[in-house]
Structure 1
């Protein structure tokens, strides 16, 4: 897999029928290793190891309903009370982050109501804080560390 703009982390890999799989510590199973999954797994490690987010508050690849359509978010981090703290949208490294990517995560956030958003393709990372009063998001230089 391509080198990403994250610290280097240790992962468990295995081969099944000639295909590479990576162990997802949140879903507790091996997932086929595709470019977007590589970004997702590195991002999970970044959230836990660099930013201190507890694995028990992280959820990966779950279905949500938006305007009658079924969609899947990449990563959501919850507050201990069950409200959503952070939504992460992951793209493969070869996919440029565009306005459409921000529009996608903003649509998810209409339902999820998170205060923080992160968009990454593993190379470029963008962090935003929601300004609900002005109905916009403000870019941050970095993602805040987890605090209770």
Structure 2
């Protein structure tokens, strides 16, 4: 798999699978899953998010269509705090990807939105009336407030 611009970690791989840090089972290794597992590692090992606050591939209905979000982080009240859309490293993070995460958020109502392809990461924080791009992901200490 392609090297990413995310922190490296000891990846458990077997045949064409990768061990998921959250689901605690072997998952088919696709380029998007490669990015997802590295991003999960960033959130847990480097930003201090607890594993129990994660939901992966959360199913939701949007205009009668079934969709799945890649990574959701919940706050202690069970509300969506951070919504992350992961893409393969060869997918450009363009307006179409931004629109996708924004559409998901119409259902989920997250405080933060993020997109990543493992090479580039973008994050937005909900303001009074719109989302504003920020430069750093909030760590768990910030998340607790």
- Give the TM-score of the pair, scaled to structure 1: 0.93
Q: Partner of 2:97 in structure 1?
A: 101
Match of 1:48 among 20, 44, 60: 44
Shift of 1:42: 0.2
SS of match in other structure, 1:82: coil
- Greater per-residue strand proportion: 1
Listed one character per residue, the Cα deviations across residues 32-87 of structure 1 (whole Å, up to 9, x for unaligned) are: 11100000000000000111100000111121111111000000000011011100
> Which 4+ runs in 1 deviate beyond 2 A?
none
Matches within 5 A, 1:1-148: 1-15=1-15, 20-131=16-127, 133-134=128-129, 136-147=130-141, 148=144
SS of match in other structure, 2:140: coil
Separation of aligned partners in 2, 1:14 and 1:97: 29
Separation of aligned partners in 1, 2:13 and 2:31: 14
Shift of 1:89: 0.2
Listed one character per residue, the Cα deviations across residues 84-133 of structure 1 (whole Å, up to 9, x for unaligned) are: 110000000000000111111011001101000110000000010012x3
- Give the TM-score of the pair, scaled to structure 2: 0.95
What's the RMSD between the two structures over aligned residues?
Answer: 0.8
Query: Any stretches of 5+ residues in structure 1 without a counterpart?
Result: none
SS of match in other structure, 1:9: coil
Q: How many residue pairs end up in the alignment?
A: 142
Shift of 1:11: 1.4
Query: Any stretches of 5+ residues in structure 2 without a counterpart?
Result: none
